[in-house]
Amino acid sequence: MKHSIAILERIIKELNAKKAKLDDVINGKPFSELIKVRNEIHELLMGKNKHTAKDRLKKILELEAKEVKLERINKKDITKIIHTSFELKDEIEDCERLMMDLQLKQKQLENYNNFYSKGDSK
């Protein structure tokens, strides 16, 4: 039983690590590319780059198209990730319940063994 509990503890630890990564994604960590595109658009609008107005406008339109595409992808990904995160949370809770049940059974077994080993010594 101790071996099973150790395995469950390791599984819970791994699931929590995966959930933490998903939470990072949900909280916006992988959106750096989208932010970079927005910064480029801002720089072009502010005229920080040495381009003609026509070149700047063309580049802005290209970047805005890329931005829209990135936003669409990110929304779809986030929905999947949130769903996966909830599934992982449920799985972690199931493992924790199973581990608590095993620990309780182990304690009951130890108490049973202690009770009967004392009875034999009388």
Going residue by residue through the chain, which has 122 residues, state the pLDDT in tens, using 9 for 90 and above: 677 777 778 887 777 777 777 776 666 655 666 677 777 777 777 766 666 767 777 787 888 888 777 777 667 777 777 777 788 788 888 888 888 888 888 888 888 888 888 766 55
Virtual CA dihedral for 58, 62, 63, 65, nearest 10 degrees?
140
**Model-level pTM?**
0.47
The count of other CB atoms within 10 Å of the CB of residue 63 is 19
Decide: 29 and 102 in contact? Cβ < 8 Å: no
- Domain range list for the chain: 2-112
Rounded CA separation 98/8 (Å) = 8
Rounded CA separation 84/78 (Å) = 10
Look up residue 24 and give its amino acid.
Answer: D
DSSP run (H or E) holding 77: helix 53-120
Question: DSSP 3-state assignment of 49?
Answer: coil
Decide: 95 and 19 in contact? Cβ < 8 Å: no
